Structure 1
Amino acid sequence: MDTHSIGILKLFLFKMVVLVLCLASTASAANLPPSTTSLEVASDIRVQCNNDEIVVSITTKSGRFNGMVYPRGLSKNSTCMGEWIHKKSPIEYTLPLRGCNTMSTDLDDGGIEYYNTIVVQPHLKLVTNQGRGFHIRCRYNTRNNTVTNDSLKVDLQGADRLTALAPMPGCSMRIFSGDPTKKEVAENVKIGDPLTLVVTLDEQDTYGIHVTDCLVRDGLGWGEQKLINDDGCPTDPEIMGMFRYSEDKTKAYVEFQAHKFPYTASVYYQCNVKLCLKADKSCDVEPTCWNSSGNRIRRQARSQTTEGEGTPATINVYSGLYVNEANDSAKTEEDSVFSEKTSDSICISQKSFAIGICIAGLILMLCVVAAILCLLAKRRKKTTSHSSGSIYSGPYTNTAYSHTS
């Protein structure tokens, strides 16, 4: 074996020693006691569903918590972020139903489900891999619509007894992507995407609707923008136009393009739905927002309702969605601390990954050594075969014994 081959084997032995030390250090690190931060990671989550909020109770392994809790995507907004300094667990974090990225979806059984994703981060300043994400859901049996009047004060003079005893119909608001007939509810869209806001009243023969006083909020309590005024006229037609109504006056819809506030992706819409009686043709009265020349008409005092007469009941309806910038990627800044496991994903711990890398390196080096040994064996065999042959092999001849006749 020549000097070059010996040097290669020495280098291989040195790498083997380094690999053994790497495996030993990895195993010893795995046996170290858990750090204080790891003991403060959330170990148990309990949810309490209230009328206007969701209360999340968080328990840690150490019995105390030093860190922050916030909805995913709102780590920079202090209005929705809670901070605790060495507090005894369990701690309680409150989420509003109509704010802080809490969204809702209507269920097939007539109920409604509110959902949000919160991040529990056991550090007051930094986002680390110790943080955990939790998907919070609260299901309610009935829609949480609010009637602004204490009772139904519709003027029922001349109405029959059946009309007077008609129950309050249910009302809902949904926002669809594009054509509402496709029933594709908008949950996560981009700025400029076509949307359709649909307000629906339960099917019955007594009441119709007029949609007024619509606005959009940021869900953080920082800003809002009025879209439809008290008369049902748009405040800015370029943002949202007038509602159009179905023939039976139980459905109203308006098409618009997705928009958002510059500092958050969540937008919440709220409208007042005023009930009207089909029997007295009050549902056929539509608002007049522009004159014949196309100019906006100033708001006028209403003459339909005189002092002392009843005013229609008003139902507040809500809906919300996420609107992202056109160049936003699918991942957010909190994806490092929250991930949803799917059937195609593979989860590997850091310890297993390090051991796997060491084993792969060991196998690779064994393959290299095997290849070197094969090359050395071939060279040795070739040298032996040359030394056993004749010194006069080849096309040359010995001219010393040649003669001519």
Structure 2
Amino acid sequence: MAKNRLIYALQILTMASFPFPVKMAFPPSLRYPLPIALNKITGLNFTCDSDNFNVSISTHLPFKGLLFAKDFAQECKAKGDMSNKIQLSLPTSGCGVRLSSASTNQHEAEMFYTVNIVIQQDRHLRQISDQEKTIKCPLKDEDLLVKSKALAKTLKQLKDGRIHQRVGRMKNEGWSKELDGKQLEEELNEALSAARAWMEIVPESSEDTSFDTLEVGEIAMLSVKSTLPVGIGWKVVDCIAHDGLGDSSQKLINENGCPVDEALMPALIYGPIRPIALMHHQEAVTRFSAFKFPDRDRLHLSCGLQLCKGECSKHTCGSLDDMRSPRAFSEASEGDVLDRLEVFNSVEVIAPEIDDLRGSERLQSVPETFTFTNIPGDRTFCVSQDKMAIAFCILGMIFLIAIIIAACSLIKSKRDGHGIPYYSRSLFSGSSTSGSIFGSKLLLRESPSPRNSPSHSRGLQYGRIL
């Protein structure tokens, strides 16, 4: 009890010593937690359009760290300059920005961009005080408009050609009947303001289109959707997968709209056309097994959208037409293609099974030992602890056996009556002239004859010291 009171008192004193607001947080992994100082976020503003996603953050204290998109700490970041405000601008075609849709209470589709940002308190270090936030930015109706001058020019030509035609033919083309030039021009402007195209990536098994996480191997559905004026066709070409920056990429659909590898992504299937007043809506869908790049958890997909006058030319995938060069393809369809747009999206793809398998393999695997031979001057060798213990045991047994043999030999020699050999030389070094108290005259003389020696009866003969 006294120990807990002491810790509580130290925490109160620590909080009182900080001149700025401190938020106490105690991670469960710490036995004796320390207070964590968070630079409180006082304001968060964001805007988005078809090209950029802008984020602005205000903090209570001067900010010296980093603000970046998750998984893109080095490429999509903004550095703090010790002010209380930091801004970050991200391209919607990369840096982990995702386009999603959701149904409102009025059963209308709402489009919005989503991005995960990280507020890193220090510029070089990751700490437990760093924060992560998910920002959703709703899009306006005009943000996904098809902006094409060639499309506007073609629709104007269609208007000029149809204004003198019979009402029945105009009705068959989808335009209103009995209109003068001014009214028809208003309808064409309305059609241009309603032309849209976008891409969505969702799990096939999930009904929630805002769900943005897949696992490697999970079936995902790629949908390219368009709402275009009557008389304008479209086709999906040149689809690629990239890591969000363009450093790593993989082509999926070629310039003819055919798959490069069916195992990665099959051909897109175009759905029925649904007329909506002066417009028509159509979707192209394909299903593929989710994959990812080794160094990124965000998978970005980008496709080209060809706009054609009338229907776009069709190609049979795998035929000779599909094998033609891009230049031959563009020359063959140059009269039909009006413009080319780009649609893109991203999704988070994780691989928990692969990561767990690699982790278990690293734990179970034994690192290989390489023997370096023929190294000049190197006479060392390495053994394991177990082998060293066995070696010491063997050496100890050999030493013990040697002592036993020596003791037995000494006892046997005493019993047989053999004495210690005589020495005719000094027991001490002859060069030692000053260190010995006996001087250089201290020698072992030859022993007298064993017969005349008084010690003969005992079997031991020693020399005399003079």
| Pairwise TM-score range, normalised by the shorter structure | 0.5 to 0.7
Distance 1:69 1:153, change over 3 A: same
Is 1:289 aligned to residue 317 of structure 2? yes
Q: CA deviation at 1:25?
A: 2.2
Q: CA deviation at 1:287?
A: 0.9
Alpha-carbon distance in structure 2 between the residues aligned to 1:119 and 1:72:
6
Distance 1:98 1:140, change over 3 A: same
Count how many residue pairs are aligned between Structure 1 and Structure 2: 302
Look up the match of 1:114.
113
Look up the match of 2:269.
244
SS of the aligned residue for 1:28 comes to: helix
Look up the match of 1:343.
none
Letter in 1 for 2:69: P
Alpha-carbon distance in structure 1 between the residues aligned to 2:42 and 2:209:
36
Query: Does the 8 Å contact 1:216/1:270 carry over to 2?
Result: yes
Query: Does the 8 Å contact 2:306/2:337 carry over to 1?
Result: no
Alpha-carbon distance in structure 2 between the residues aligned to 1:185 and 1:99:
18
Look up the match of 2:63.
65
Is 1:21 aligned to residue 10 of structure 2? no
Look up the match of 2:350.
324
Q: CA deviation at 1:321?
A: 0.9
Alpha-carbon distance in structure 1 between the residues aligned to 2:6 and 2:292:
55
SS of the aligned residue for 1:260 comes to: coil
Structure 2 unmatched ranges of 5 or more: 22-35, 164-169, 176-183, 274-280, 357-466
- Aligned ranges 1:6-405 → 2 under 5 Å: 16-34=1-19, 38=37, 40-62=39-61, 64-74=62-72, 77-84=73-80, 86-108=81-103, 109-142=108-141, 143-147=143-147, 149-152=149-152, 154=154, 160-161=162-163, 162=170, 163=173, 167-168=191-192, 169-178=195-204, 184=209, 187-202=212-227, 206-248=231-273, 250-276=282-308, 282-283=311-312, 285-291=313-319, 297-299=323-325, 301-302=328-329, 304-305=332-333, 309=335, 311-327=337-353
SS of the aligned residue for 2:17 comes to: coil
Alpha-carbon distance in structure 2 between the residues aligned to 1:49 and 1:175:
20
SS of the aligned residue for 1:286 comes to: coil
Alpha-carbon distance in structure 1 between the residues aligned to 2:133 and 2:283:
37
Alpha-carbon distance in structure 1 between the residues aligned to 2:245 and 2:235:
28
SS of the aligned residue for 2:284 comes to: strand
Distance 1:191 1:259, change over 3 A: same
TM-score, structure 1 as length reference: 0.63
User: What do residues 204-230 of structure 1 show as CA deviations (whole Å, max 9, x unaligned)?
Assistant: 754443211212222134232222122
Query: Does the 8 Å contact 2:308/2:336 carry over to 1?
Result: no
Letter in 1 for 2:285: Y
Look up the match of 2:26.
none
Letter in 1 for 2:201: I
Larger RCO (CA under 8 A, 6+ residues apart): 1
Alpha-carbon distance in structure 2 between the residues aligned to 1:277 and 1:59:
50
SS of the aligned residue for 1:89 comes to: strand
User: What do residues 213-270 of structure 1 show as CA deviations (whole Å, max 9, x unaligned)?
Assistant: 2122221342322221221122222211222222439222122111112111112222
Q: CA deviation at 1:315?
A: 3.4
Alpha-carbon distance in structure 2 between the residues aligned to 1:305 and 1:117:
42
TM-score, structure 2 as length reference: 0.56
Q: Which moved more, 1:310-319 or 1:65-74?
A: 310-319
Q: CA deviation at 1:147?
A: 3.9
Alpha-carbon distance in structure 2 between the residues aligned to 1:179 and 1:57:
36
Alpha-carbon distance in structure 2 between the residues aligned to 1:251 and 1:59:
42
Alpha-carbon distance in structure 2 between the residues aligned to 1:45 and 1:299:
50
Distance 1:178 1:78, change over 3 A: same
SS of the aligned residue for 1:90 comes to: strand
Alpha-carbon distance in structure 1 between the residues aligned to 2:292 and 2:323:
28
Query: Does the 8 Å contact 1:39/1:61 carry over to 2?
Result: no
Higher alpha-carbon Rg: 2
Percentage of pairs with the same residue:
23
Alpha-carbon distance in structure 2 between the residues aligned to 1:98 and 1:127:
27
User: What do residues 164-202 of structure 1 show as CA deviations (whole Å, max 9, x unaligned)?
Assistant: 96524322322232269x575651001111122122233
Alpha-carbon distance in structure 2 between the residues aligned to 1:33 and 1:146:
55
Distance 1:325 1:258, change over 3 A: same
Alpha-carbon distance in structure 2 between the residues aligned to 1:177 and 1:18:
53
Distance 1:58 1:328, change over 3 A: farther
Alpha-carbon distance in structure 2 between the residues aligned to 1:209 and 1:319:
19
Query: Does the 8 Å contact 1:72/1:118 carry over to 2?
Result: yes
